[in-house]
Amino acid sequence: MSDMNTVKISDKEELEIKTEQAKLFERSMFAAKSHLSYGTVEEYLKMLRKMRELEKQGEIEVFHVTDEFEPVTVKTLSGREKKIPTIELWQHKSCGQCGHIPGYVTALYWIMSNLGIPYVDDTNQTSCTAWNYYGSGTSNPVALTAVFLRNMHVAWEKNAYPLIHCGTSYGDYKEVRFLLVMNRDIREKVRAILKKIDRDVVVPEELVHYSEWLHVMRDKIAERRKYDVSGVTVAVHAACHTYKLMPEDYTYSEDILDGIRPAPTTSVALALGAKVADYRNWYDCCGFGFRHILTEREISRSFAYFRKVQPIVKETKADVIITHDTGCVTTLDKSQVVPLAHGYKETIPVLSDSQFAALAMGAHPFIVCQLHWHIADWRNLLNKMGIDWERYKQDYKRYIEEIKKGLRKPDFIKPPSRRLPPRKNS
């Protein structure tokens, strides 16, 4: 805009800035945005450097994303490149996910099985306990760190890379990893705790949310698309705990929403051929947060409806809200009941990105994606996607009847058996 009359100057440095003004702008924008968030990029990079120093000194073990995990590189908000493992994944499940929207995790497993991705669905995983922490301020940094390291150690033992399903676990782990690396006191206390359960400090090189995995796998997923979703408009809700806790470390891409908003989930919808609609309250919480879901249900549901659902439906005419966290799917979906009873008209189905992708790939809407657990009406969406849900419904009824009569057993998505030998405990 300002270059029309400026002259070239001999000093190379100055010249470069002028001609590459667009690039400079991108960089400044990333920097400015990270400065506006809680931490700073410098602090974060310092932590990562220190993690490697501690590894060199032998104080901690770092769980590297080695080539055996076939990593794909993405760019984070800080501009740093992050390695996302694509195979041999240790599924770190979410508490609320299994209880409220079981189709969320089964859809993800189904996609992995469909793509032939080896993974471990371990029963030996605990809750990250961060709901307690963010919800009611109980727990403490040492306890949170101990639970984090305990889970990471189990994954390390099994030689599978942790893939964290829950936004809260992911955000919490990013925070406690920072505390652990930067604070000797915590390291010492945690080591003592871990000793009691015969485990050690193993810190993952990268903390990876499953939405980032879907992001890097989006083209492979799109290749196996069965239904044409080009007529579907999607509104994406990014989960606060994934991209607002330690925002420096979440995936952004310059070609997705200009790199201003998180790339995952939007990228998956775009790769599948759906349209993505922007909306005014994109930055707002789903209503789950700020302890409201636990103590202030009235405010939680009102916020979800008046700040998210209603504006999205009114402004974008979207067919579905897609998000990537347990709490968000639950809150945005379940909070529509009361307003509908009051006579408000706006309603929209809410799915996780894994459910949406699995549906497009031809997964069973009920046996795999378990849409019958969802409250907001999804029939229009499935019609638009060209999925004959009536037929699937009959099929599902028959399936249930047969199980009831003892004619068959429920279907399971079983992970392929372990190929890699377990790591020996050091």
Partner 1 sequence: MRTENPVLIIGGGPAGLRAAVDLSEMGIEVILVEKRNELGGAPVRWKYKTLAPMMRPTEEVMNPLIEHVEKSELVKVYKNSIVEEAKGNAGNFVIRIKNGLDNRVESLNVSAIIVATGFEHFDARIDPRYGYGKNPNVIGIHELEAMLKSGRVVKHDGQPPERIAFIFCVGSRDRATNPWCCTVCCGVSIKQAIELKEILPDSQIYMIYMDVRTFGLWEKLYWKSMEEYGINYIRGRVSEIYYTGEKLLVKGEDTLVRGPFEVLFDMVVLAVGMEPGQGTKQVAKALDLAINEFGFLEPKHPNIHHDSSKEGIFLAGACVAPMSVEEAIAEGSAAAMQVVKLLHRLAKPIEAR
Partner 2 sequence: MSKKSKKKGAFIIEREYIDDQRIIEPEHLKLEEVDMSGRWGVLVLPRTIEEFNHSLYEEIKNHPRGRNIHKCWQCGNCTAACPVAEENPLFNPRYFIHIVKMGYKLELEKFKDYIYLCGSCGRCSEVCPKGVDPSGVMEAIGTVLRRYKL
The residue ranges that bind partner 1 (CB under 8 A) are: 1-2, 5-11, 14, 17-18, 25, 28-29, 32-33, 35-36, 258, 260, 280, 282-283, 315
Considering the complex, state which of residue 50 and residue 280 has its C-beta at the smaller distance from partner 2. 280
Question: From the list partner 2, partner 1, none, which binds 306 (C-beta under 5 to 8 Å, kind-based)?
Answer: partner 2
Question: From the list partner 1, partner 2, none, which binds 341 (C-beta under 5 to 8 Å, kind-based)?
Answer: partner 2
Question: From the list partner 2, partner 1, none, which binds 295 (C-beta under 5 to 8 Å, kind-based)?
Answer: partner 2
Considering the complex, state which of residue 113 and residue 302 has its C-beta at the smaller distance from partner 2. 302
| Shortest Å distance, C-beta 21 to partner 1 | 9
| Shortest Å distance, C-beta 5 to partner 1 | 5
DSSP string, 62-97: EE---GGG--EEEEBTTS-EEEE--SSEEEE--HHH
Considering the complex, state which of residue 36 and residue 197 has its C-beta at the smaller distance from partner 1. 36
| Shortest Å distance, C-beta 261 to partner 1 | 10
Considering the complex, state which of residue 204 and residue 287 has its C-beta at the smaller distance from partner 2. 287
Considering the complex, state which of residue 62 and residue 340 has its C-beta at the smaller distance from partner 2. 340
Question: From the list partner 1, partner 2, none, which binds 338 (C-beta under 5 to 8 Å, kind-based)?
Answer: partner 2
Question: From the list partner 2, partner 1, none, which binds 337 (C-beta under 5 to 8 Å, kind-based)?
Answer: partner 2
Among candidate residues 223, 253, 419, 235, the one with its CA nearest the CA of residue 317: 235
Phi, psi dihedral angles at 277 (to 5 degrees): -100, 135
The answer to whether 97 and 104 have CB atoms below 8 angstroms apart is yes
Question: From the list partner 2, partner 1, none, which binds 373 (C-beta under 5 to 8 Å, kind-based)?
Answer: none
Reported as type and span, the H/E element at residue 276 is strand 275-277
Structure tokens at 336: 């529509």
| Shortest Å distance, C-beta 287 to partner 2 | 11
Total residues found in the chain within this entry: 426
| Shortest Å distance, C-beta 381 to partner 2 | 21
Considering the complex, state which of residue 285 and residue 363 has its C-beta at the smaller distance from partner 2. 285
| Shortest Å distance, C-beta 304 to partner 1 | 17
Give the C-alpha separation, 411 to 406, whole Å.
13
| Sequence-distant (≥ 6) Cβ neighbours of residue 376 within 8 angstroms | 333, 336, 347, 348, 349, 350
Q: What angle do CA 308, 107, 266 make, to 5 degrees?
A: 45
| Shortest Å distance, C-beta 99 to partner 2 | 20
Among candidate residues 312, 236, 218, the one with its CA nearest the CA of residue 272: 218
- Three-state SS for 102? helix
Considering the complex, state which of residue 77 and residue 203 has its C-beta at the smaller distance from partner 1. 77
Question: From the list partner 2, partner 1, none, which binds 283 (C-beta under 5 to 8 Å, kind-based)?
Answer: partner 1
Buried residues in 50-81 as b, exposed as e (16+ CB within 10 A): ebeebeeeeebbbbbbeeebebbebbbbbeee
Considering the complex, state which of residue 303 and residue 378 has its C-beta at the smaller distance from partner 2. 303
Question: From the list partner 2, partner 1, none, which binds 260 (C-beta under 5 to 8 Å, kind-based)?
Answer: partner 1
DSSP string, 162-185: EEE--HHHHHHHHHHHHHHHH-HH
Among candidate residues 33, 50, 27, 46, the one with its CA nearest the CA of residue 244: 33
| Shortest Å distance, C-beta 297 to partner 2 | 8
| Block residue for tokens 């889970």 | 151
Q: Is the dihedral of CA 59, 63, 66, 72 positive or negative?
A: negative
The answer to whether 229 and 273 have CB atoms below 8 angstroms apart is yes
Question: From the list partner 1, partner 2, none, which binds 339 (C-beta under 5 to 8 Å, kind-based)?
Answer: partner 2
Considering the complex, state which of residue 11 and residue 198 has its C-beta at the smaller distance from partner 1. 11
| Shortest Å distance, C-beta 310 to partner 2 | 9
Question: From the list partner 1, partner 2, none, which binds 38 (C-beta under 5 to 8 Å, kind-based)?
Answer: none
Considering the complex, state which of residue 296 and residue 315 has its C-beta at the smaller distance from partner 2. 296
Helices (H), 224-309: 240-243, 266-272, 292-295, 297-303
Give the C-alpha separation, 42 to 48, whole Å.
10
| Shortest Å distance, C-beta 295 to partner 2 | 5
Structure tokens at 14: 């100055």
Which residues are near partner 2 by CB under 8 A? 295-296, 298-299, 301-303, 305-307, 337-342
The answer to whether 115 and 217 have CB atoms below 8 angstroms apart is yes
